[in-house]
Structure 1
């Protein structure tokens, strides 16, 4: 069973990571799916996407849940029937979930050079502190930034939020493995803490809300 990581971040939050090494058939035989999820699985054209979907169900089982405990709202945000918060991610041969009593977001991304080209599409203030002399470090920084913004977007789940215009990642260092971010959108002004780790060329990010105030 390639459970890569299972960590109790605190008494309220559990993080689980799966490294996908099994075949589709092996994963499929290991889980039970609701009819709606079975139909969704069968509609996926990519086996990689199918394996990501199934490995998330394997992680649910590791956490004491099944596919029958999971549902999605009209915006596509996942929820657990016991009222706990859950966030889900999968990228290539990794998947991860985070379960908490508090609202939480997670994202996992492969570190790729392509992110250097698209940086200005999702960064504004962050461009001022990126390492411009070392492409490898800049890729790592940008992957964290993208992951933070993706994790926050999953937490908030509101249409119209722009990664570039509404979410700012405060300057951070790769050595510290944590940082802060802010979202300003409509009447929202929210501060977040984020944490990250690098796993075999991937970056895993998860975030929590710190506080919320009204915009002036």
Structure 2
């Protein structure tokens, strides 16, 4: 399948989605990879992970970038170089899960994203990363959805900060919210500092997509 859809987070920030229906060989033939990316791809043991990796490059090409514009810093955070089509500096975040790959590009803010398929197993691990009081008085389906949103909130904020020592349950906190809200506030309390974030979340088929932006 080609490009799936985009979601406007704000006037300067957009998330782009690729639904992966292609086989590995189709994706591999459709992208150009630099040597370091080819080495990373060859080391991946899961074909699902490989296809997610390649679909990210398909999205980049769809948007006028390429794998050669994408690089990672020493902490593993992705960045995009300017090119002939895109001269303005941008911030980028990347996520993929099973049938979806996603990138989010912002021209005026750091951004972190996460996309996760909803699975019942998240309820078993929820006490490890969140206050399970957030799940009280909900049906099992709503518990799964809300726990997936909360995981995505914490993962998205971590992607922005990417600092060693940050703990999901101990340092990242979301304000109470309803699933119908589609947004909430969250905080990172770490190293004697409090940083606030705007959160948006969406259902994309059987997946939850979350985007975090630092409050201006």
With structure 2 as the length reference, what TM-score do the two structures score?
0.93
**Greater mean deviation of Cα atoms: 147-156 or 185-194:** 185-194
1:156 paired with 2:161, answer yes
Q: Distance in 2 between matches of 1:98 and 1:142?
A: 22
Q: Give matches, 1:51-70, under 5 Å.
A: 51-70=51-70
| Contact preservation (8 Å) 2:60, 2:66 | yes
> In the alignment, is residue 123 of structure 1 matched against residue 93 of structure 2?
no
CA deviations over 1:75-100 (Å, ceiling 9, x no partner): 11101113311000000111100000
Show the counterpart of 1:18.
18
Q: Secondary structure at the match of 1:175?
A: helix
1:197 counterpart (187, 199, 202): 202
Indicate conservation of the 8 Å contact 1:131/1:137, yes or no: no
Secondary structure, aligned partner of 1:29: helix
2:100 aligned with 1:100:
no
Q: 1:146 is matched with which residue? A: 151
Could you tell me whether the CA contact under 8 Å between 1:195 and 1:206 is conserved in 2? yes
Unmatched tracts of structure 2, length 5 or more: 83-88
Give the drift of 1:133.
4.3
- Contact 2:9/2:200 (CA < 8 Å) preserved in 1? no
Find the aligned partners of 1:138 and 1:92 in 2 and give their Cα distance: 21
In structure 1, the partner of 2:116 is 109
| 1:71 equivalent in alignment to 2:71 | yes
How far residue 24 of structure 1 moved from its aligned partner, in angstroms, is 0.7
Q: How does 1:181-196 map to 2 (within 5 A)?
A: 181-196=186-201
Q: Which runs of 5+ in 1 are unaligned?
A: 212-216
How far apart, CA to CA, are the structure 1 residues paired with 2:75 and 2:189?
20
How far 1:116 sits from its partner (Å)? 1.0
Partner of 1:180: 185
Q: Deviations over 1:21-69 (max 9, x none)?
A: 0011111111111111011111111111110000000111122110011
RMSD: 1.2
Q: Which has the higher mean CA deviation after the structures are superposed, 186-195 or 158-167?
A: 186-195
- How many residue pairs get aligned? The number is 209
